[in-house]
Structure 1
């Protein structure tokens, strides 16, 4: 290590290049912690799933909306201090506008006002939009439709379209909100079997490295699936991993017994997007050799990579 212990020298850099992503993360945190001890700045730890920071503005807006929802219900009717009526949809957007105007200096109000203004710009019915948010935040009904609330689905689809790259069909996708990625996996596999798309004995190709629960769910004895690994075997001239896939690995998908491909893009944990050549090769195989191949693409790290393009 150089004289400044927080700054790695060339030998340190060469050693870091040999570490796995998890080892590298721990080393960088250690370096950051050392630096933090010397200065008065807090270390931001963006560790996967366990950051030590959060965005305040959306949470402030969220809680302000909740306060409005409760107050609006109380004004409709109140039987006891903690027993109030459900808000009414008619003119609820006007009531929210007045409520926001009376609290312009409070945290979260500016963002909530901007959200309502944006919805107006889309030509949406103000009462329908606000009531969906209010009814949803109160949590008093099952969602309708069950998959995802209507306006929330439209907002989410438009947001995804900004992340998934050129050609993403943001206006032609069906969304289903889940509790998390692992829950989504359980629902997807259950649905594939319930609808006769997957059967015991079918081959499932998994692009590795991979989020390990994918390996676990494919190995469940009740599914009886055959696991085929596609390994990121391409290296740079110096021997370090590029986390890309050779044509030979992707060619395994030409086997018609493989009915499902699990694609992590960008890769997890390296966070490297699939190359254009790999995307094109997968598309060619589906178009010409294995048209029945179902693809699950897990794009959770899309925001980590500039110029990202989803298989979707």
Structure 2
């Protein structure tokens, strides 16, 4: 049993950020004197209703269609393609808002994407009913072009890549991360001892997975700092020109820093890749739609980049587990596999030869699909078809807006912005109003806040006399307020992450006031220590 609070906190600091958060949550809930406010997780407290209601209508139509071929109580048959588009249009009610969206979606599929009406509706209905394995296994034919046009519209900033990009829908962004690392290893694109660069602070799995025994990679942290408003600077990007660096991983816009790469940073990254042309890049763009004028790394370096995206944050769909990996049809991953030695090709041929006559011709993204089911279960691979249709519907709510602003995205961004400004207004320090700031998270360094509110001597006192996790734990214990420890993301000591996603707007002023109250309490102890001569 630990002899002091400090000893316990030293042990806790060894845990992952999310494990620490769970412990703080328990402490806060046990603090009955205060309301429980948990701003540690990024799960949004809003949802998109349009796509969900449309999903329900597709299920209803699909059930009715199935009864046309076989109907014995609750037992029904399969859907027939011939004439299904017209039957679907006849099913829709012209004065119903959800049905109007489905009519718009049908028009988008047939007019903008030039899909055959019967084929498109048959594909969506089979998908939403879920009565077949995913086929093709990587992505449903009706879903992939919808996802590609959504990505092009929202992430590429005018660069036309929809027709040259292949998509693998996955069980959320986290599954995409797991599948991606696994396939990189199985295809000898990363090997133990390889040097990889990570733009920290970053979502914790990207820090933790490379150090596992499965990978044993050498990490080089390209750190973004509060002094640079959490933007990665030129000196850090320039390090990527080193050919010994095999892989660069980033979350863009960043988590927890919330900053998107600027056009200058993207240009500098292109210059670094020109000197290190075989650099593999993984960019996780889940927060892209919360930044103004966003452009993905994939848009400027499609040959080198694998794009990870999730619908979870924007559409309030963390429980749906809907994400994807996207790759250009000509990419460095395929080229590096092609250049492997004859011995490695022989080993990989044995692995993939069970599912392909010419395994050496398999693209990396298709190998990822196969590896996601350990090869042997490749015939049952692929994301569940209802999940794929849900992704398509989320995308269509945006695509049918055409060149007009998407009111849902506009409302989501305003909600986040309002909470962010309320928090900083109550904290009595300036907010970062950069257009590259998504404002989804706020990073607060307690030591810097102490120096601003009081003086540097007090900030030094906090560092020297308390464990870095102490402030967060006392905030939970004394005020029922839970924030995420930022050091687990690779941020500086004393950093706490505040999520603007999962509480009511007025709560953010309360959280800021609780932070200041606790800081005042520490300051009172500091003054007492000075008076007693203990400082």
**TM-score normalised by structure 2 residue count:** 0.46
Q: Deviation at 1:170?
A: 2.3
Are 1:279 and 2:260 an aligned pair? no
Report 1:155-234 matches (<5 A). Answer: 155-164=146-155, 165-167=157-159, 169-233=161-225
Q: Which has the higher contact order (CA 8 A, sep 6+)?
A: 2
- Taking the aligned partners of 2:249 and 2:261, their CA distance within structure 1 comes to 13
Match of 1:87 among 75, 79, 82: 79
Q: Deviation at 1:141?
A: 1.1
Q: Say whether the 8 Å CA contact 1:148–1:177 is kept in structure 2.
A: yes
Match of 2:99 among 109, 122, 126: 109
CA distance 1:113–1:46, shift in 2 (3 Å): farther
Match of 2:237 among 250, 255, 259: 250
Query: What root-mean-square deviation, in Å, do the aligned CA atoms of Structure 1 and Structure 2 show?
Result: 1.9
Which secondary structure does the structure 1 equivalent of 2:261 belong to?
coil
Deviations 1:58-97 (A, max 9, x none): 111110010000110012112x312110111111111111
Match of 2:56 among 43, 55, 63: 63
Q: Say whether the 8 Å CA contact 1:62–1:108 is kept in structure 2.
A: no
Q: Say whether the 8 Å CA contact 1:72–1:87 is kept in structure 2.
A: yes
Q: Deviation at 1:270?
A: 2.5
Match of 2:136 among 130, 133, 145: 145
* Larger CA deviation: 47-56 vs 104-113: 47-56
Quote the residue 2:68 is aligned against: 75
Quote the residue 1:261 is aligned against: 248
- Taking the aligned partners of 2:235 and 2:248, their CA distance within structure 1 comes to 16
* Larger CA deviation: 163-172 vs 150-159: 163-172
Q: Say whether the 8 Å CA contact 1:210–1:267 is kept in structure 2.
A: yes
CA distance 1:267–1:230, shift in 2 (3 Å): same
Gaps of 5+ in 2: 1-37, 299-535
**TM-score normalised by structure 1 residue count:** 0.78
Match of 1:51 among 44, 55, 64: 44
Quote the residue 1:27 is aligned against: none
What is the total number of aligned residue pairs between the two structures? Answer: 259
Which secondary structure does the structure 2 equivalent of 1:205 belong to?
strand
Q: Deviation at 1:196?
A: 2.0
Flag the structure with higher helix content.
2
Quote the residue 2:375 is aligned against: none
Quote the residue 2:346 is aligned against: none
Quote the residue 1:300 is aligned against: 286
Deviations 1:132-157 (A, max 9, x none): 00000011111111111112110111
Deviations 1:103-127 (A, max 9, x none): 3344521111111122221331111
- Taking the aligned partners of 2:207 and 2:89, their CA distance within structure 1 comes to 50
Quote the residue 2:397 is aligned against: none
Deviations 1:1-32 (A, max 9, x none): xxxxxxxxxxxxxxxxxxxxxxxxxxxxxxxx
- Taking the aligned partners of 1:214 and 1:115, their CA distance within structure 2 comes to 36
Q: Deviation at 1:234?
A: 6.5
Quote the residue 1:129 is aligned against: 120
- Taking the aligned partners of 1:53 and 1:283, their CA distance within structure 2 comes to 37
* Larger CA deviation: 135-144 vs 53-62: 53-62
Which secondary structure does the structure 2 equivalent of 1:244 belong to?
coil
- Taking the aligned partners of 1:306 and 1:64, their CA distance within structure 2 comes to 33
Which secondary structure does the structure 2 equivalent of 1:185 belong to?
helix
- Taking the aligned partners of 1:57 and 1:48, their CA distance within structure 2 comes to 25
Q: Say whether the 8 Å CA contact 1:234–1:245 is kept in structure 2.
A: no
Which secondary structure does the structure 1 equivalent of 2:292 belong to?
coil
- Taking the aligned partners of 1:50 and 1:305, their CA distance within structure 2 comes to 18
Quote the residue 2:412 is aligned against: none
CA distance 1:93–1:46, shift in 2 (3 Å): farther
Gaps of 5+ in 1: 1-44, 236-240
Match of 1:310 among 291, 296, 309: 296
